[in-house]
């Protein structure tokens, strides 16, 4: 994170003494406002001062270009520097309030006079701090340096730290164990290779491949056949005119290069060879791969070749990855932990050498998360002076009175650690096995990372005092950054910066909170609640109990009161937004606003954007913003303070405060636990009446607008009895929501501490990870404004209604902290400093499906510059891929459809589908599944992959298959790496000799061992969740003779379900709004009313109006994508096309597992939902009347139709807007998707009639 405060210190010093009458306004605010006004002079001369905020939110360059302002190097550097220094002012309201506060200061202190709205600011003669503009110009001329916080190393002697039970423990470090600090990363080293374009000749890659083959042979390693693999690849690059792609002899790297290749074309081979080529040329390269397992594999590959390689890994999840590796080894028959001695364990050490030096009274080892790597506190000597004792007594007295810093300890955090003094680094850090990978990265030329480790992990302060993340460091130090599966990384980045969860919905399987509570109860019961002896577990369990009871109370109120639902949200709500609505109803900030209207409609619904980010060291803190002046402003400010205190501590853990905040806390307890709602309502009314003392009377408020010519309803007239009763109900709701939100934060905060004790699913706590504050100025804010809130969606299904007409719904929670995908597109700029003439790294984005038309998830907007293709022979084989349908029918002759079924019926439908698919006919004929296997011509590939919707469904299907005699012992089910299994299949032995791995009796294969599936000679069928095998796993045949080429192990794949996401998945809305924003600001979208982005900015006339128009439009889009049902029939035409592209990407990626090695695939669509009209037409005659089919043609027809325009040159005008502007897109589609399109077109032959036996 860059230093945001040092730059203005000289000006602040020159402004002293600061006038006491303006003590409420910080001198720093003056500097920040004036820096923004200086930015306007630099970038937007002549524009009004009120538009400065539009330049600070990440879209400043787009607004400047659309406004036809100069955007040279000077202006771009100024915009980038200002974003780092002024990003908290990127909201219009915050900027206007800051500007108003600035204008209240004496003119002798100010450098600018700001006229009425619509006119630019102009300078006035300076009377103090006369050289301040030199400071401002320097601040805008270069990026600020990194914020620093030195972590001193601990010396020999006794040290203290906090253990797992929040008790002090001590350790004595002998002098002979103290090691010198390890040298850190150089941040200013020159990178000549990044100064200009870099071409990588294919001939040199061929030399590298031959070297790798020879080195593997010399070292006795398993042959990788690198020269042979490279020879199977063809590289095409875009011609200078941008219309077609031609064969190339070198891979061009120039800032951002987007390379696509048909699935299975060899992108991983190219990435590996490129890394070794960079190493041999003295270049530093960072590879971004899918997961930790792939990181470990690649790192060991490079190291066994004698290359210096290291992996970037996060610290919080290492125990889980270590456990996964142990489980995979045990599944291969190595049941003794003592036998787990592979070299990869060196990267996953969880040992703490200091643990052995702790005091003798310790009874248990340190937890992984409790190791004091940077938290040792030297033991203090006995003080003889009285002053420290007095200071300590004063601190304890203040704490007893509740005077705890709002941004400090929470109600479940022990503050004794504050008394331990300054933290120090462990003196053994430089030799500690736990941190060997972090040390190796300093000198390694090859870095191997995954998206989460790169974005989330901070560079250890034991290495560098500068605060930065490994992503920033990689871009600062690397010459080349390669991102594999760029479209998947794009989706991951979107989700990192907008985590969400479906808290409660119908059915336990899809409800995050219900699943968590069910799991907690089972785990506590399993050990007789012994886990509660751990204080963290006890606190976490208590917080979860409150979340559950608060959610129940919210549901009761939302189900019962439609008016409350309408008031709480237009699209989403939070405790802060509801507080603001209440305060506006009680104390409007201005006299002229219509009653009931929020004070601001164009701002993100979050009070403090720092709540969206993780700020470990408190470097993002800023002062409070001023409030507009109205006669009752002091009373409103006081009540606001009470509510703010209450929201921070709604259940009073740090109280009492001696203010009405205590009464709010008492009422929150009452509303949550009351059995007498009438008494509680009277107490709520009493507090409400006290808050309304001093509120403006009816004569000071505008009258509410009449509805359709009628008099306003009594509850709409302020201060009437009905109005007070309505507001009491709303206040109750706000109190409950505040308790839910704060305790939900506690659940997510304590998750890492209790994950092991309660065996929580490490994949289920994405909500607990907030993006680091470091990225706030590095990526654009969400176009509708960064938001945090809940959403309640009413379930419109008839089954969701009770006999009284009440409807249930879905409660969702989300944080939107920025457009994550822009981080991917901006990687070259992340490591650049144009002010100093330093370029960023060359970035290569690779994927087989990152060009995907109008897909909101997968399409990467960077223009494609290179295409990787298989050799013509392999391509011809892949084009022989066969698609067909195998629809199944029930006894009534109705098509069996799994997709879209109610959760309660889904398992029964799946069992029926398996029975019809896999059981032999009563007439002796083979089952459809057995017949499909018989059609596979290659004996090595007679295996079938059956795809379902989840791990739970895979288990159900595997159970059903294993009960059929023909398949007993031949079925394997994919299990998550973290799944608790009795045993797993040993790939080196017969599966029949293994103990059952699951209750189904089918052997289980962990996801990390999927590549070795073909080593099991008895396995014919693998049942897996569709999305679990979509990417990253090459499942190849085991060679039967020397020199035999490995090819895809599965000869056929059967889709038992469509790859349709859950309609209430919030990430779909995040993908949609981020896709809209990135396309719109780049001029690739044209809206019906606003036109293009440039049209919108031009029509607005000035920056402030343009920013407001963009925000308003984006909020409209956000509301639409939040509230739309993600069901094909409910979507607009453009959304339908995007929907189909999304499904196309998933299906083609799965099929890519079956064409590895240049072989054709067989693809069978079993679910009738793929083509409901065709399935109905092929239904067998049963003698019963047939229901008419009103369904559409289905996904298969739509997949063909969305590709067809690109293959029909005469019909090219029907292709989407972006394709018309890019002539090479048709060529791209043919290169990437021709086998898919041809197979879809060949499905016109209808299968014969089906039997319903």
Instruction: Identify the weakest region by mean pLDDT among 122-136, 401-415, 752-766, 829-843.
Output: 401-415
Answer yes or no: is pLDDT of 378 > 50.
yes
Q: Residue 408 above 50 pLDDT?
A: no
- Asked if 569 and 489 sit in the same domain, the reply is no
Measured distance CA(73)–CA(302) in Å, rounded: 40
What does the pLDDT read at residue 915? 95
Residue 462 pLDDT greater than 50, yes or no: yes
What are 151's two structure tokens?
């972590």
pLDDT surpassing 90 at residue 942: yes
Q: What angle do CA 1004, 1008, 1012 make, to 5 degrees?
A: 70
Start-to-end CA distance of the chain, whole Å, equals 67
Q: How far is CA 737 from the centre of its chain?
A: 24
Nearest Cα neighbor of 104 from 637, 600, 626 is 626
Q: Indicate whether 697 and 744 sit together in one domain.
A: yes
Which residues is 446 bridged to in the sheet? 285, 309
pLDDT tens for residues 210-231?
999 999 999 999 888 999 999 9
- Supply the pLDDT for residue 164: 59
pLDDT per residue as tens digits for the range 794-803? 876 655 566 6
| pLDDT of 170 over the 50 cut | yes
Distances (CA, A) of 1015 to 149, 954, 1019: 52, 21, 9
Residue 983's domain is classified under what CATH number? 3.40.50.300
Q: 311 and 331: one domain?
A: yes
Is 338 a residue whose pLDDT tops 80?
A: no
The model's confidence at residue 386, banded by pLDDT at 50, 70 and 90, is very low
753/537 Cα distance (integer angstroms): 8
pLDDT at 594: 42
Count of domains forming the chain: 5
| pLDDT tens profile 1153-1193 | 888 888 898 999 999 999 998 988 888 876 666 666 666 78
- Cβ pair 963, 996 in contact under 8 A: no
* pLDDT value of position 995: 34
Note whether residue 78 is domain-resident.
Answer: yes
Q: Measure the CA–CA gap between 501 and 9, rounded to whole angstroms.
A: 43
The pLDDT of residue 1156: 83
Q: Is a pLDDT exceeding 60 seen at residue 417?
A: no
Element (H, E) at 878: helix 872-878
Q: Domain of residue 1053: give its range.
A: 875-1061+1141-1191
Q: Residue 35 — very low, low, confident or very high, per pLDDT cuts 50/70/90?
A: very high
Give a yes or no: residue 678 inside a domain.
yes
**287 within some domain:** yes
- Looking up tokens 């981080």, which residue turns up? 823
Instruction: With cut-offs at 50, 70 and 90, classify the pLDDT of residue 1007.
Output: confident
Q: What local confidence, expressed as pLDDT, does residue 990 receive? A: 37
Same domain, yes or no: 963 and 1002: yes
Q: Average pLDDT over the chain, rounded to whole?
A: 84
Residues 919 and 1025 in one domain: yes
Query: Domain boundary at 82, 115, 141, which?
Result: 141
Say yes or no: 891 and 1013 in one domain: yes
Mean pLDDT of 130-142: 95
Which has more pLDDT, 626 or 261?
Answer: 261
147 is a domain residue: no
Of the residues 846, 870, 894, the one at which a domain ends: 870
One-character DSSP codes across 1166-1210: -SGGGSHHHHHHTPPP-SSPPPP----S-HHHHHHHHHHHHH-GG
Residues 1024 and 1090 in one domain: no
Same domain, yes or no: 470 and 562 = no
Decide which of 1076 and 1010 is more confident: 1076
1038 within 8 A of 360, measured Cβ to Cβ: no
987 and 845 housed in the same domain: no
Domain membership of residue 915 (yes or no) is yes
φ/ψ of 125, rounded to 5, equals -60, 135
Residue 399 confidence (pLDDT): 43
Residue 326 forms part of a structural domain: yes
**Tens-place pLDDT, residues 740-769:** 999 998 888 888 788 878 888 766 666 667
Burial state string for 696-730 with b = 16 or more CB within 10 A and e = fewer than 16? beeeebeebeeeeeeeeeebbbbeeeebbbbbbbb
Question: Does residue 1092 lie in a domain region?
Answer: yes
**Judgement on whether residues 946 and 1073 belong to the same structural domain of the protein:** no
Judge if 239 and 305 occupy the same domain. Answer: yes
Q: Which of 1149, 1135, 1144 is nearest to 1069 (CA)?
A: 1135
**Residue 833 per-residue DSSP state:** B
On whether both 1120 and 1167 belong to a single domain, the answer is no
How many Cα atoms are found within 13 Å in the side-chain-facing hemisphere of 108?
A: 8
| 65 inside domain | yes
């Amino acid at each position: 994170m860059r230093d945001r405060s040092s730059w203005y210190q000289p000006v602040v010093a020159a402004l002293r003494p600061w006038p006491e009458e303006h003590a409420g306004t910080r001198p720093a605010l003056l500097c920040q406002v004036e820096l923004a006004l200086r930015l306007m002079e630099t970038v937007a001369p002549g524009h009004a001062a009120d538009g400065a905020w539009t330049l600070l939110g990440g879209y400043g360059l787009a607004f400047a270009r659309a406004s036809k302002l100069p955007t040279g190097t000077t202006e771009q550097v100024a915009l980038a520097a200002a974003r780092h220094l002024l990003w908290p002012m990127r909201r219009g309201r915050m900027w206007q309030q800051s500007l108003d506060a600035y204008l209240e200061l004496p003119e002798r202190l100010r450098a600018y006079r700001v006229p009425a709205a619509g006119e630019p600011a102009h300078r006035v003669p300076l009377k103090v701090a006369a050289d301040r503009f030199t400071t401002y110009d320097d601040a805008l001329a270069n990026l600020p340096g990194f914020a620093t916080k030195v972590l001193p190393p601990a010396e020999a002697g006794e040290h203290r730290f906090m253990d797992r039970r929040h008790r002090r423990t001590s350790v004595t470090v002998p002098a002979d164990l103290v090691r010198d600090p390890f040298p850190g990363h150089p941040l200013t080293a020159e990178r000549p290779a990044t100064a200009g374009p870099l071409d990588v000749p294919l001939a040199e890659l061929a030399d590298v491949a031959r070297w790798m083959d020879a080195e593997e042979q010399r070292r006795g390693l398993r042959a990788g056949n690198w020269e042979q693999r490279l020879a199977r690849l063809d590289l095409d690059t875009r011609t200078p005119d941008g219309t077609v792609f031609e064969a190339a002899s070198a891979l061009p790297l120039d800032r951002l290069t987007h390379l696509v290749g048909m699935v299975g074309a060899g992108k991983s081979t190219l990435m590996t060879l490129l890394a070794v080529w960079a190493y041999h040329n003295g270049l530093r390269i960072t590879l971004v791969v899918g997961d930790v397992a792939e990181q470990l594999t690649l790192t060991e590959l490079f190291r066994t070749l004698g290359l210096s390689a290291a992996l970037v890994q996060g610290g919080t999840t290492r125990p889980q990855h270590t456990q996964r590796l142990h489980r995979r080894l045990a599944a291969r028959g190595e049941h003794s932990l003592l036998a787990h001695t592979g070299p990869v364990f060196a990267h996953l050490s969880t040992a703490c050498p200091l643990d052995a030096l702790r005091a003798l009274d310790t009874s248990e080892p340190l937890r992984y998360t409790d190791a004091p790597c940077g938290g040792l506190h030297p033991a203090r000597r006995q003080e003889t002076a009285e002053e420290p004792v007095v200071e300590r007594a004063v601190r304890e007295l203040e704490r007893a009175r509740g005077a705890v810093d709002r941004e400090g300890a929470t109600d479940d955090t022990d503050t004794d650690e504050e008394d331990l003094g300054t933290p120090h680094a462990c003196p053994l850090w430089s030799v500690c096995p736990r941190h060997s990978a972090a040390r190796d990265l300093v000198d390694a030329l090859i870095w191997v990372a995954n998206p989460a480790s790169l974005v989330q992990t901070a560079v250890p302060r034991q290495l560098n005092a500068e605060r930065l993340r490994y992503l920033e460091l990689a871009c600062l130090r690397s010459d080349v950054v390669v991102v594999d599966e760029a479209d998947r990384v794009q989706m991951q980045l979107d989700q990192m910066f907008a985590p969400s969860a479906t808290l409660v919905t119908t059915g336990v399987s899809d409800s995050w909170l219900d699943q968590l509570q069910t799991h907690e109860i089972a785990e506590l019961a399993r050990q007789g609640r012994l886990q509660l002896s751990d204080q963290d577990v006890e606190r976490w369990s208590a917080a979860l109990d409150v979340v559950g009871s608060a959610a129940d109370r919210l549901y009761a109120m939302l189900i019962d009161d439609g008016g409350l639902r309408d008031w709480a949200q237009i699209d989403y709500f939070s405790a802060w937004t509801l507080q603001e609505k209440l305060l506006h109803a009680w104390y409007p900030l201005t006299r002229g606003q219509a009653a009931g209207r929020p004070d601001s409609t164009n701002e993100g619904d979050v009070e403090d954007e720092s709540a969206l980010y993780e700020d470990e060291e408190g470097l993002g803190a800023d002062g409070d913003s001023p409030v507009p002046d109205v006669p009752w402003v002091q009373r409103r400010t006081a009540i606001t303070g009470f509510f703010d205190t209450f929201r921070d501590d709604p259940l009073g853990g740090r109280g009492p405060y001696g203010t009405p905040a205590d009464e709010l806390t008492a009422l929150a307890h009452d509303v949550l636990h009351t059995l007498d709602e009438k008494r509680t309502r009277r107490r709520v009314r009493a507090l409400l009446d006290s808050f309304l003392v001093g509120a403006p009377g009816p004569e000071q408020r505008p009258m509410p607008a009449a509805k359709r010519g009628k008099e306003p309803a009594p509850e709409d007239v302020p201060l009437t009895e009905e109005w007070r009763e309505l507001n009491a109900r709303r206040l109750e709701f706000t109190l409950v929501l505040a308790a839910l939100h704060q305790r939900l934060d506690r659940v997510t905060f304590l998750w890492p501490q209790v994950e092991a004790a309660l065996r929580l699913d490490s994949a289920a706590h994405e909500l607990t990870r907030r993006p680091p504050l470091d990225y706030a100025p590095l990526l654009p804010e969400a176009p509708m404004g960064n938001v945090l809130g809940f959403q309640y969606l009413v379930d419109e299904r008839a089954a969701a209604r009770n006999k009284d007409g009440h409807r249930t719904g879905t409660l969702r929670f989300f944080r939107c902290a920025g457009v994550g995908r822009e981080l991917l597109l901006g990687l070259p700029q992340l490591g650049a400093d144009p002010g100093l003439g330093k370029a960023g790294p060359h970035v290569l984005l690779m994927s087989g499906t990152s060009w995907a038309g109008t897909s909101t998830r997968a399409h990467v907007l960077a223009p494609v510059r290179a295409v990787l293709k298989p050799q013509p022979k392999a391509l011809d084989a892949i084009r022989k891929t066969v698609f067909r349908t195998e629809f199944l029918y029930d006894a009534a002759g109705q098509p069996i459809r799994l997709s879209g079924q109610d959760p309660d019926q889904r398992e029964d439908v799946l069992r029926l589908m398996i029975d019809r698919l896999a059981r032999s006919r009563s007439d002796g004929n083979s089952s459809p599944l057995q017949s499909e296997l018989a059609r596979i011509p290659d004996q090595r590939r007679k295996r079938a992959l059956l795809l379902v919707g989840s791990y739970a469904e895979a288990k159900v299907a595997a159970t059903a298959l294993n009960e059929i005699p023909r398949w007993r012992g031949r079925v394997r089910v994919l299990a998550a790496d973290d799944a608790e299994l009795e045993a797993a299949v040993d790939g080196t032995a017969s599966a029949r000799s293994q103990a059952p791995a699951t209750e189904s009796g089918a052997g289980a294969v962990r996801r990390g061992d999927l590549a070795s599936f073909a080593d099991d000679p008895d396995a014919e069928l693998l049942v897996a969740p569709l999305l679990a095998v979509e990417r990253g796993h090459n499942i190849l045949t085991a060679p039967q003779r020397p020199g035999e080429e490995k090819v895809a192990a599965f000869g056929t794949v059967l889709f038992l379900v469509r790859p349709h996401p859950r309609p209430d998945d919030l990430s779909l809305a995040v993908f949609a709004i981020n896709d809209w924003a990135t396309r719109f600001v780049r001029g690739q979208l044209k809206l019906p009313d606003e036109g293009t982005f440039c049209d919108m900015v031009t029509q607005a006339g000035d920056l402030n109006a343009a920013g407001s128009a963009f925000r308003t439009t984006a909020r409209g889009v956000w509301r639409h994508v939040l509230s739309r049902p993600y069901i094909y029939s409910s979507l607009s035409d453009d959304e339908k096309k995007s929907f189909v592209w999304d499904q196309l990407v998933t299906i083609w990626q799965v099929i890519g597992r079956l064409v590895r090695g240049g072989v054709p695939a067989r693809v069978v669509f079993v679910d009738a939902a793929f083509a409901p009209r065709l399935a109905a037409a092929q239904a067998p005659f049963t003698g019963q009347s047939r229901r008419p089919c009103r369904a559409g043609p289905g996904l298969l027809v739509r997949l063909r139709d969305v590709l067809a325009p690109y293959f029909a040159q005469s019909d090219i005008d029907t292709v989407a807007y972006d394709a018309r502007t890019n002539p090479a897109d048709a060529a791209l589609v043919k290169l990437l998707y021709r086998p898919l399109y041809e197979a879809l077109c060949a499905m016109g032959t209808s299968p014969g009639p089906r039997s319903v036996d």
